[in-house]
Amino acid sequence: METKVVLITGASAGIGLAAAIQLMNKGVRVYAASRRGGTPQKAQSGEGEIIHVQMDVNNEENIASVVAQILKENNRLDAVVCNAGNGIAGSIEDTSSEEVKYQFETNFFGAVKTIQACLPVFRAQGYGKIIATSSVAAIVPIPFQAFYSAGKSALLVFMQALAVEVKPFGIQCCAILPGDTKTEFTAARKYSKNSQLENSPYLKTMTKSVQIMERDEQNGMSADSVAKSIVNQLTKKRMDHTYVPGIQYQLICHLFNILPTGLRLWIVGKIYG
């Protein structure tokens, strides 16, 4: 495998941890970044290992320190996987500007800050791979999780623009768009404060919509299957610019890219309205 040293954010659980374990078993030294850290692991055979590092993707100094540690210990960084994320539910009207910032801070700006810290390393090397975990929600607008959808959409477009900018330096970019996935993300979802008030005109519809989403998540793909898509991209000589795990989600994204907007929104309303 060409990729030998990889940094993964949001790697304490779910998709991030699953990707770290799969890469470790392929002989990769994985720096698994998260705010809570974890226990180091070594592959049963080969040189692969997981080194847990405490890192807050919202703290630029913290990110720079981790990147410096990786370079000191390896003198290289082959790839970064920006996987850290969170979710906040509630109607647009019931979500404060502070809560919107909370949603974008990790999901979008956290990825941006991490990538910006790695780009000078990749340019100096003349190679590097960047993967960001976006979502099918970047294509399909999810009501009552509008800011999650918007942040993932912003990340998708950001990655496409980045791919053009860094191609001359031998750097590749790929956005992974998972659909419903069974992880701890569901239980960790937050709600905007006003969305929980009994006098919210959206309370009943919002509650129903989120319940449908959470049911789909708990019956969705496994974290391992999404992680496998990430690992497959890292092991390819030429990564795809965008990859959607799962045939059903590939079909959904294709249809939403070609159907008229009115019809797309009607479908979303029927599912979540």
* Residue for token pair 């979303």: 268
Domain boundaries, the chain: 5-272
Its CATH architecture, for the domain 5-272, is 3-Layer(aba) Sandwich (3.40)
Please say if 193 is a catalytic residue.
Answer: no
* The one catalytic residue among 113, 149, 152, 229: 152
Q: Please report, in tens digits, the pLDDT of each residue of the chain (273 residues total).
A: 455 999 999 999 999 999 999 999 999 999 999 998 888 889 988 889 999 999 999 999 999 999 999 999 999 999 999 999 999 999 999 999 999 999 999 999 999 999 999 999 999 999 999 999 999 999 999 999 999 999 999 999 999 999 999 999 999 999 999 999 988 888 888 999 999 999 999 999 999 999 998 898 888 899 999 999 999 999 999 999 999 999 999 999 999 999 999 999 999 999 887
pLDDT of residue 263: 96
Q: How far is Cα 68 from Cα 121, in angstroms, rounded to an integer?
A: 10
pTM of the model as a whole: 0.94
pLDDT of residue 3: 59
* The one catalytic residue among 102, 113, 135, 148: 148
Please say if 134 is a catalytic residue.
Answer: yes
* The one catalytic residue among 34, 102, 129, 134: 134
Please say if 236 is a catalytic residue.
Answer: no
Please say if 152 is a catalytic residue.
Answer: yes
The full 3-state SS of the chain, as one line of letters, equals CCCCEEEEECCCCHHHHHHHHHHHCCCCEEEEEECCCCCCEECCCCCCEEEEEECCCCCHHHHHHHHHHHHHHHCCCCEEEECCCCCEECCCCCCCHHHHHHHHHHHHHHHHHHHHHHHHHHHHHCCEEEEEECCHHHCCCCCCCHHHHHHHHHHHHHHHHHHHHHHHHCEEEEEECCCCEECCHHHHCEECHHHHCCCCCCHHHHHHHHHHHHHHHHCCEEHHHHHHHHHHHHHCCCCCCEECCCHHHHHHHHHHHHCCHHHHHHHHHHHHC
